[in-house]
């Protein structure tokens, strides 16, 4: 079962990880990236770089193993095509005998013009891919290029991050099955907007999704409201919350959400 | 005091709306006389009755009433000790019994001698005053509050009677000239925090720090893990209110007094609605759940809020020893 965790270095990366990397200094980029790529060769993982090597974290072209794949064509500029290409490379790598694929991508605001919800929808798809295929996906977000709220939003949909765990958002939402998303941590008023955006992005893909709250410590009134609003954002959506602890279930009932017609159901 | 005929609402403002009667009694005989008279008036008028009294008193009444279907006994002990939960409970009980606009009478008796602290006693009295606001427009509802006056404590009776617009005597209700008609309730002053107390200033971005501070102090005080998890939600709600509505920041203090762990939140906001947090939220209600959750999750909640001094909220949690 996947679980949220923090990586001190890329040495700690494991199969199925989807890492949100906030490099704290530009100087650290090449060394960290080189180590990530070199470990791929060591463990028998095929390297897949999304974007040009120079633009992705300052990765020198000659540092990339010859068998690596660089997905840098204008034809695959749209996110769905990128994901389809990555999935294709993962299947090819499996046929070629690789252990898995190591995906490296650097996200830039210019490549995410659709706003936070669109960006989170793309990240959730990548997360589902990592979960299903045991691929390792590292997404670099340079803090200097992104506004803080958007960075918080995207951090919330990566189960893993490198460096010191960001204090916000206090939750992490990630794939643990087909249309099943686990939510870890705390959902309070300070991250309710990020949670709302993440759930809205999740219900885009399917009319019915499950949220696993097994490792969610607490949710406050703003968080519950955010969940209900996200479910009502699109018609005919249904969210089943499973594994919630007794206090979360009590608060849900006290808040008045146990009622007919509610698109969010708190399962026992 | 002015004598008013029993049971039949007149044009008097005190009786055309919610009738809230205090019934001081001494001994079982007087208790049964007053309460049974009240119940029989209701039954003759086709009204339902909800009885929420201590078990000993309930047994007395059950013995007299048998299986009268129009009378429902409810167990207030399941609500826990916080008087802040009682208005919501009464609304639910009255609505349940008052289907199809059937008038409902309540009999609500507090075990005053079992009040656990001065703060608890004060909040119990405040609840009685708030009932007048909660049911102000409910002409179909009325309530009798028996009060055991065996101790002959004039001061206690006077404090309580000020919260009731009517007093029942000898089968009649009379207008209580000493009833507090002011818009603002004269709260008892909060005692200063006990030394040593812990203090933390908070603003946006500090909710995790607030929870962490409270968790450490509560654990040190011996608060159970289950209660700590409830408290985490309650403190998040109150601190959020400070940040959103109380000037953007506040001050948290925690301390232990006797067998109670307290968290106090001070901010510059003002809570104008005295009923805030007392009624169960509806599903489409946008806000207003924070104080409700705090009342439901803590053993006592004290709220003091004025325009000039801001808001102080104290959350109490019993410490089991």
Tens of pLDDT, residues A29-41: 677 888 888 899 8
Q: Same domain for A113 and A239?
A: no
Q: Same domain for A108 and A194?
A: no
Q: Please name the residues in contact with A177: beta carbons below 8 A apart, sequence gap of 6 or more.
A: A131, A210
Cβ contacts (< 8 Å) between A249 and chain B: which residues? none
Residue B62 phi, psi (nearest 5): -60, -40
Q: Same domain for A47 and A84?
A: yes
Q: Which of A186, A220, A247 sits opposite B237 (nearest CB)?
A: A220
Tokens 């029989």 label which residue? B40
- Comparing A6-15, A159-168, B190-199, the range with the smallest average pLDDT is A159-168
Q: Same domain for A120 and A215?
A: no
Residue B98 phi, psi (nearest 5): -100, 35
Angle at A37 between CA A34 and CA A38, to 5 degrees: 80
The single-letter DSSP state of residue B8 is S
Q: pLDDT in tens for each of the 321 residues of chain B?
A: 444 444 443 344 444 578 999 999 999 999 999 999 999 999 999 999 999 999 999 999 999 999 899 999 999 888 888 999 999 999 999 888 887 788 999 999 998 888 889 999 999 999 999 999 999 877 778 999 999 998 888 999 999 999 999 999 988 899 999 999 888 899 999 999 988 899 999 999 999 999 999 999 999 999 999 999 999 999 999 999 999 999 999 999 999 999 999 999 999 999 999 999 999 999 988 888 999 999 999 999 999 999 999 999 999 999 986
CB atoms within 10 A of CB B1: 12
Q: Same domain for A227 and A134?
A: no
Report the gap between the CA of A50 and the closest CA in chain B (Å): 34
Q: Which of B313, B279, B286, B16 minimizes the C-alpha distance to B138?
A: B16
Pick from A105, A134, A162: which residue ends a domain?
A: A162
Q: Same domain for A139 and A233?
A: no
CB-CB under 8 Å, B282 with A218: no
Tokens 């979960």 label which residue? A131
Tokens 């929420």 label which residue? B52
How many residue pairs from chains A and B have C-beta atoms closer than 8 A?
68
Residue B110: alpha-carbon gap to chain centroid = 10
Cβ contacts (< 8 Å) between B207 and chain A: which residues? 170, 188-190
Pick from A104, A136, A162: which residue ends a domain?
A: A162
Q: Which of B233, B287, B296 sits opposite A220 (nearest CB)?
A: B233
Task: Report how far apart the first and last C-alpha atoms of chain B are (Å, whole number).
Answer: 48
pLDDT of residue B51: 97
Cβ contacts (< 8 Å) between A231 and chain B: which residues? none
Q: Which of A149, A208, A139, A197 minimizes the C-alpha distance to A173?
A: A197
Q: Same domain for A176 and A151?
A: no
Number of domains chain A contains: 2
Q: Same domain for A74 and A150?
A: yes
Q: Which of B135, B207, B127 minimizes the C-alpha distance to B159?
A: B127
β-sheet with A5-7: strand ranges across? A5-7, A160-162, A18-21, A136-141, A100-107, A45-50, A69-71
**In chain A, % of residues over pLDDT 90:** 71
pLDDT of residue A70: 86
pLDDT of residue A119: 92
Over residues A184-208, the mean pLDDT reads 96
Q: Same domain for A132 and A227?
A: no
- Write the CATH number for A153: 3.40.50.300
**What percent of the residues of chain B are helix, what percent strand, and what percent coil, each to the nearest 5?**
40, 25, 35
Q: Same domain for A70 and A95?
A: yes
- Tens of pLDDT, residue by residue over A76-133, are 567 788 899 999 999 999 999 999 999 999 888 866 667 889 999 999 999 999 999 9
Helix (H, G, I), strand (E, B) or coil at A255: coil
**In chain A, % of residues over pLDDT 70:** 91
CB-CB under 8 Å, A222 with B293: no
pLDDT of residue B1: 43
Q: Same domain for A62 and A97?
A: yes
Interatomic CA distance for residues B263 and B198, integer angstroms: 9
Interatomic CA distance for residues B182 and B185, integer angstroms: 7
Helix (H, G, I), strand (E, B) or coil at B202: strand
Pairing of strands A171-177, A180-187: antiparallel
Cα-trace Rg, chain B: 21
pLDDT of residue B10: 39
Q: Please name the residues in contact with A8: beta carbons below 8 A apart, sequence gap of 6 or more.
A: A162, A163
Cβ contacts (< 8 Å) between A245 and chain B: which residues? 229
Residue B241 phi, psi (nearest 5): -60, -40
Domains and CATH numbers, chain B: 15-175 (3.40.50.300), 198-318 (3.30.565.10)
Interatomic CA distance for residues B88 and A182, integer angstroms: 34
Helix (H, G, I), strand (E, B) or coil at B114: helix
Helix (H, G, I), strand (E, B) or coil at A99: coil
Which of B215, B236, B281, B284 has the most A C-beta neighbours within 10 Å, making it the best mutation to test the interface with A? B236
pLDDT of residue A27: 56
Pick from A110, A133, A162: which residue ends a domain?
A: A162
The DSSP H or E segment spanning A208 is strand A208-212
- One DSSP character per residue, B136-176 reads TT-TTEEEEEEEE-TT--HHHHHHHHTT-SEEEETTEEEE-
Interatomic CA distance for residues A153 and A120, integer angstroms: 7
ipTM (interface predicted TM): 0.91
pLDDT of residue B152: 82
CB-CB under 8 Å, A218 with B232: yes
Q: Same domain for A110 and A10?
A: yes
Token reading at B6: 């029993």
For residue A231, the enclosing domain spans 171-266
């Amino acid at each position: 079962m996947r679980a949220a965790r923090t990586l001190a270095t890329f040495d700690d990366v494991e199969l199925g990880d989807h890492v949100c990397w906030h490099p704290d200094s530009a100087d650290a980029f090449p060394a960290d990236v080189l180590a990530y790529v070199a470990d791929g060769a060591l463990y028998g993982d095929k390297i897949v770089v999304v974007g040009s090597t120079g633009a992705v974290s300052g990765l020198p072209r000659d540092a990339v193993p010859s068998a690596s794949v660089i997905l840098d064509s204008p034809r695959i500029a749209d996110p769905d095509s990128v994901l389809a290409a990555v999935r294709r490379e993962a299947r090819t790598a499996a046929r070629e005998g690789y252990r898995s694929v190591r995906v490296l991508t650097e996200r830039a605001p210019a490549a995410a013009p659709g706003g936070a919800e669109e960006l989170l929808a793309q990240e959730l798809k990548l997360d589902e891919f990592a979960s299903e295929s045991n691929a390792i996906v590292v997404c670099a977000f340079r803090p200097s290029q992104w506004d803080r709220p958007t960075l918080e939003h995207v951090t919330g949909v990566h189960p893993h991050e490198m460096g010191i765990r960001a204090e916000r958002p206090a939750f992490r939402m990630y794939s643990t099955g087909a249309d099943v998303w686990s939510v870890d941590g705390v959902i309070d008023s300070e991250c309710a907007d990020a949670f709302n955006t993440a759930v809205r992005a999740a219900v885009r893909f399917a009319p019915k999704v499950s949220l696993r709250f097994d490792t969610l410590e607490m949710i406050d009134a703003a968080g519950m409201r955010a969940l209900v609003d996200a479910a009502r954002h699109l018609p005919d959506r249904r969210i089943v919350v499973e594994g919630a602890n007794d206090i979360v279930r009590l608060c849900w009932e006290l808040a008045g959400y146990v009622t007919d017609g509610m698109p969010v159901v708190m399962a026992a | 005091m002015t004598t008013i005929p029993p049971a039949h609402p007149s044009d008097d403002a005190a009786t055309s709306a919610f009738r809230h009667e205090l019934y001081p009694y001494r001994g079982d005989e007087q208790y049964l006389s007053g309460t049974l008279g009240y119940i029989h008036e209701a039954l003759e008028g086709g009204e339902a009755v909800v009885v929420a009294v201590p078990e000993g008193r309930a047994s007395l009444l059950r013995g007299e009433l048998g299986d009268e279907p129009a009378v429902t006994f409810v167990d207030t002990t399941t609500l826990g000790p916080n008087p802040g939960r009682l208005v919501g409970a009464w609304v639910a009980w009255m609505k349940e019994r008052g289907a199809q606009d059937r008038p409902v009478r309540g009999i609500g008796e507090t075990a005053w001698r079992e009040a656990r602290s001065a703060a608890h006693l004060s909040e119990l009295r405040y609840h009685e005053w708030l009932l007048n606001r909660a049911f102000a427009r409910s002409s179909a509802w009325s309530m009798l509050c028996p009060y055991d006056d065996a101790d002959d404590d004039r001061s206690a009776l006077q404090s309580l009677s000020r919260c009731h617009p009517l007093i029942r005597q000898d089968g009649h209700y009379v207008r209580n000239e000493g009833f507090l008609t002011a818009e603002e309730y004269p709260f008892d002053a909060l005692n200063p925090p006990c030394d040593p107390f812990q203090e933390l200033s908070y603003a946006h971005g500090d909710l995790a720090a607030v929870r962490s501070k409270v968790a450490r102090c509560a654990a040190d005080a011996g608060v159970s893990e289950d209660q700590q998890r409830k408290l985490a939600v309650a403190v998040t709600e109150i601190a959020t209110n400070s940040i959103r509505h109380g000037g953007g920041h506040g001050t948290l203090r925690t301390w232990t007094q006797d067998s109670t762990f307290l968290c106090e939140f001070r901010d510059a906001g003002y809570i104008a609605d005295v009923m805030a947090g007392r009624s169960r939220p509806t599903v489409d209600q946008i806000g207003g759940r924070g104080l409700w959750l705090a009342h439901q999750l803590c053993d006592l909640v004290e709220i003091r809020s004025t325009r000039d001094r801001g808001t102080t909220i104290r959350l109490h949690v019993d410490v089991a020893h």
